[in-house]
Amino acid sequence: MRVYLRYAFKETFSNLWRNRMMTVAAVLTVAVSLSLVGSALLLKQSAAQASASWQQGTRVTVWMQPTASAGAIASVRTQLAQLPIVKNCVFTTQLQDYNEARHTIPTAEFQTLTVADMPTSFRCTPTVPTDALTVISTFLHQPGVYTVTAPIQQIRQMNRAIRILQVVFLALATVLLLSAGVLILNTIRMAIFARRREVSVMKLVGATNWFIRVPYITEGFIQGLLGSGVAMLAVWALHTWYPLHNEFALDTAKLWGTNLVVLVVGVVIGSVGSAIAIRRFLDV
């Protein structure tokens, strides 16, 4: 067994060195494609986490007309207090909205406003984030109400943009993974052709099929493993060094989970590429 293992490792690394340019190309292609896969997975998890966080903090704002009567304001206040899908509401006066606008709109526009131009508003938190749409439809056409707003649409747009980005990443990664598989296959094919006479002699002296195949299988496995290792470092660097808002930041467990997927995919690509090459080009 020791002699066999020594032979297998010797032949594997001999093949890798003999076809080193193809090996480097295959490893780099696997690394780039799996970096895209890892980035897409991190993006998906970060987006899901941020979306959940934002939805938990979803606030519906009922903006009253600046000229709304005290009766209209009181009516909306009473209805909000009685609405079971609303957890709590805070009433904001015209002066408070005016002071807030000082920091949120351009100076030139703000200077044209007065306190009387500002609406009063109710800032409400729905019991369940999806109930925001019900609150909007309930109060949008109430007397004295100017409009009702919630960040639901912005969250949907953000999720749509992230889904498109994920599809692009995964499409590129798929093309590159296929390219990596072909490169690994060609590397194994070149190694087989370079040693075809030795293989014939080994068969004549009674070497088993697996004795001959294992070095080539190991070669593809190592190429996939090396590519995965580089991709895992890239994913770790992205997670560690790229500044993310707290709502997007992922914990270490999710990072390791993503890297595990990257590792498995790389090893599978390498092994499958070598298996196809052996099946097609190694006559044993």
Q: Are residues 32 and 167 in the same domain?
A: yes
Last residue of a domain, one of 150, 179, 198: 150
Give the tens place of pLDDT for each residue, 38-85: 888 877 777 767 666 666 667 889 999 999 999 999 999 999 999 999
What pLDDT score does 246 carry?
46
User: Which distant-in-sequence residues (6+ apart) come within 8 Å of 8 by Cβ?
Assistant: 214, 215, 218
Q: Which domain holds residue 37?
A: 2-54+155-281
pLDDT of residue 138: 92
CA distances (Å), 126 to each of 37, 52, 55, 171, in order?
37, 14, 10, 38
| Ramachandran bin of 206, using left for φ above 0, alpha for ψ from -120 to 50, beta for the remaining angles | left
Phi, psi of 274 (to 5 degrees): -70, -35
Whether 160 and 267 map to the same domain: the answer is: yes
Identify whether residues 46 and 80 lie together within a single domain.
Answer: no
Shared domain check, 46 and 159: yes
Mean pLDDT score of the chain: 80
Token code pair at residue 18: 């003999």
Q: Please give the average pLDDT of every successive group of 10 residues along the chain, which has 284 residues.
A: 64 72 82 84 74 68 93 94 90 92 83 90 86 88 91 73 78 80 78 72 70 78 88 84 55 81 88 81 64
Q: What is the Cα–Cα distance from 124 to 121, expressed in whole angstroms? A: 9
Q: Are residues 25 and 99 in the same domain?
A: no
Split into its structural domains, the chain has a count of 2
Strand 145-149 relative to strand 121-126, pairing: unpaired
